[in-house]
A = this chain, B = another copy of it.
């Protein structure tokens, strides 16, 4: 697509065939990626363009993907200063997390991710080394999940932004798991941690002088797991597909905005929940932080976002057999007939985050 501020009036440029038959990679002494073709060459080295589920790879107007009777599809933005900061994200972590948050959405359906497209808003000031690390971080995660990259788009932009669209399929013998099927008395369960990524974020932001609300005597060095949880959230793809294959799970979602905000979305209107969160079961780094700062660790955990834990619901009578079959699940609480969240016996009065309400 043409860029507006330089229409194609280029009558004095070299002959067409000289400009298009060779890949104009930046010369070795340059640190910039000088052309779209240089970007595509780098992407080509990081992401194989063939896969047994990819019928036609990148390079045409569309890719052609193999599918069975249905696919689940999701898409997430990952934008500089909205979702990550260049100051404390290594380039490979940006590449990793931009894809990870999308893979998490597929797992939240109990599905198996297959492939994705990548839209990249790429500021000119970022150097070749940045992009090599960025694509490496993303490609490593893609390879780990056997994902193909089917295409995308690239544009110069004033700040770094990534938009990924991902798709997946029902695992063999499984089904897609939706959100809203809970009933009063059901058991709520989690796979993965909560609250840890929020602690990591708070520590990283404090390093930039951005979070003055809470003084913290703990340091990032005390909390490597919390930092890691924010920069490279853990994913649970194998547990997700196992849950999809059982007969007991009534609903599943991933907790991206924090339990306080995501639980009402999960339960729908008319239902609430009573959570029992023994602080002793939380991560030691979270307990240390809470103790040093006089904070309620359980409430901190319920308000914290970006852990990408899986939140599920199961009939009370099926809880024991589910836990026996899938030991990664842990009991969070019970569904109640009255809206609202009770945490360890007290009604919660806080909520999660809305991008536009401030």
List residues of chain A with CB under 8 Å of any chain B CB: 1-11, 13-17, 19-21, 24, 33-39, 55-56, 60-77, 79, 81-85, 101, 105-106, 108-109, 111, 117-119, 121, 124, 150-159, 161, 163, 165, 168, 176, 178-179, 198, 201-202, 205, 210-211, 213-214, 253-254, 256-258, 260-261, 264-265, 269, 272, 303-306, 339-341, 347-358
Interchain CB contact under 8 A, A81 and B176: no
Assuming A2-B353, A67-B68, A77-B163, what are 17 further A-B pairs, CB within 8 angstroms?
A1-B76, A4-B81, A4-B82, A4-B85, A7-B198, A8-B260, A16-B341, A20-B261, A36-B354, A56-B72, A60-B178, A62-B74, A62-B105, A75-B117, A75-B151, A77-B119, A82-B156
Instruction: Write out the residue numbers on chain B whose beta carbons fall within 8 Å of the beta carbon of A2.
Output: 198, 201, 256-258, 305-306, 352-353
User: What residue in chain B is nearest A105 (Cβ atoms)?
Assistant: B61
User: With A36-B355, A356-B35 in contact, do A304 and B179 touch (Cβ < 8 Å)?
Assistant: no
- The answer to whether residues A71 and B77 also contact, given A17-B264, A33-B356, A36-B355 and a CB cut-off of 8 A, is no
Please indicate the chain B residues that have their CB under 8 angstroms from the CB of A303 in the complex. 8-10
Known: A61-B254, A65-B70. A13 touches B349 (CB 8 A): yes
In angstroms, Cα B19 to Cα A357, docked, is 11
Total copies of this chain within the assembly: 2
Taking a contact as CB atoms under 8 Å apart, the answer to whether B70 and A63 are in contact is: no
A-B contact pairs, 17 of them (CB 8 A): A4-B201, A10-B353, A16-B348, A21-B269, A35-B354, A56-B178, A62-B72, A63-B73, A64-B71, A64-B72, A65-B73, A73-B117, A75-B117, A75-B152, A75-B153, A79-B121, A154-B355
Are A56 and B176 closer than 8 Å at their CB atoms?
yes
Minimum C-beta distance from A236 to chain B (A): 13
Give the nearest-CB partner of A265 in chain B: B20
Please tell me if the beta carbons of B155 and A260 are within 8 angstroms of each other in the complex: no
A356 touches B34 (CB 8 A): yes
A261 contacts across to B, CB distance below 8 A: 20
> Across the interface, which residues of B come within 8 angstroms of A106, CB to CB?
61-62
- Most chain B beta carbons < 10 A, residue from A9, A264, A341: A9
- The answer to whether B15 and A340 have CB atoms under 8 Å apart is yes
CB contact under 8 A between A21 and B79, given known A33-B356, A165-B117? no
On whether the beta carbons of A119 and B163 are closer than 8 Å, the reply is: yes
Q: In the complex, what residues of B have CB within 8 A of residue A83's CB?
A: 1, 3-4, 155
Q: Which residue of B lies closest to A339 (CB)?
A: B17
Interface contact B355-A156, CB-CB below 8 Å:
yes
Give bound CA distance, A329 to B212, whole Å.
66
A201–B6 Cα gap in the complex (Å)? 10
Q: Which residue of B lies closest to A299 (CB)?
A: B11
Asked if A61 contacts B8 (CB within 8 A), the reply is no
A33 CB to nearest chain B CB (Å): 7
A145 to B338, CA, bound (A): 44
